[in-house]
Amino acid sequence: MSTTLEDLKPVPVELGGVRGGPDVRTLRRDRWWRNPTATVVFLTVVVVYLTWATFQNANYYVGQGMHRDLISPLYSPCVVGSCVSGARSLFDLGWWQITPALIALAIPGGFRLTCYYYRKAYYRGFWQSPPACGVSDGHTRYTGETRFPLVLQNLHRYFFVLALIQNVILTIDAVVAFRLPGGGGYGLTIGTLVLVVNAVFLWLYSLSCHACRHLSGGHVNRFSKHPVRYRLWKFVTPLNARHMQIAWASLAVVALADLYVRLVASGAFHDPKIF
C-alpha cells in the first residue's frame, strides 16, 4: 500500500536561527521591513476602529426619520431584540444582551482571520514568522499550522461558504438603500453608493479567495470534461491573482462604510441625494 501525504506525521521544523553569522539577522540590504511595518500599522488602525465601532451599539442605522434606509455592514444582519426597529432582521435572539455587531461579525471575522493572505500578513507583521523572505524567524520553533490554535485555520473553506450568505445579506442592504422612506420614493444617495461599493468589494474578496478558486477548478484532471468549472476557474483566477490588493481594499471599504453610516446617523451631516 502506498504512503500518502495524510499518512505522514507532521514533523516540527527547527529553524537554524540567525542567518549570515551570529549577529546578523539577514543579509538583505533592501528595506524588507517596509511591508511588515505597513501591515502592522494598517491592521492596527483598522482593527482598533472596528473594535471601537463594534462596541458602540449605536448610530449604526439611518432610518425613516432621515428618509434613508442605511445600515452599517458591521451590524447587518441585526438579529437581537435591542436592534433599532428599521434595522431588525426577520428574527431576533431575545436573549442576546450585548452589541449585535458581535453576531453580525462572527462569520466575516472568521473568514478574514483565516484568510490565506491575511495569515501571511499577520504572521509576518505581528508574529515575525518570518518577517520577510531571507530574514530569520522571530521564534526558534516552528510547527506550522499543525497545532491548536493555528490548526483552526483549516476552517477557512467553511467560512468561505458562510461568507457568501453574508454577502447576499449585505447586497440586499445595498439594494434596499435605494429606498427613501417617508415619501421619498427611490433614489441614489452617497450612502447608497457607499453600501453598493461595499457589497461589490465583498463579492470581489470572496470570489478572489483561494478556497473559491479551488472549489471552481480543484480536483479536475481534465478541464475539457468540465466546461462549466473551467469557465468558473477562468473567471476567478485573475481575481485570485489580485487577492492581496482586494483584501486590503475591501477591509478599508467596510470600515469606511461603517464610518459613513455612523456619521450620518449621529447627525454630523446629512446624506446627500444624487438624484
- Residues interacting with ligand FES, by CB under 6 A? 115-117, 156, 160, 209-211, 243, 247
82 vs 171 by CB, closer to ligand FES: 171
Q: How far is the CB of 178 from ligand FES (least distance, A)?
A: 28
210 vs 273 by CB, closer to ligand FES: 210
CA distances from 241 to 180, 209, 235 (A): 39, 10, 11
160 vs 203 by CB, closer to ligand FES: 160
CA distances from 261 to 56, 95, 99, 153, 194 (A): 13, 27, 17, 32, 9
67 vs 243 by CB, closer to ligand FES: 243
Q: How far is the CB of 145 from ligand FES (least distance, A)?
A: 14
Q: How far is the CB of 208 from ligand FES (least distance, A)?
A: 7
Q: How far is the CB of 243 from ligand FES (least distance, A)?
A: 6
In the chain the first and final C-alpha atoms are separated, in Å, by 70
Q: How far is the CB of 171 from ligand FES (least distance, A)?
A: 17
Instruction: Quote the CA–CA distance of 231 and 66 in Å, as a whole number.
Output: 45
Contact 257, 52 (CB under 8 A): no
Angle between helix 243-265 and helix 34-54 axes, rounded to 10 deg: 30
Q: How far is the CB of 209 from ligand FES (least distance, A)?
A: 3
Q: Is the peptide bond before 130 cis (omega within 30 degrees of 0)?
A: yes
56 vs 153 by CB, closer to ligand FES: 153
Cell of residue 142, nine digits:
516552528
Contact 267, 58 (CB under 8 A): no
110 vs 181 by CB, closer to ligand FES: 110
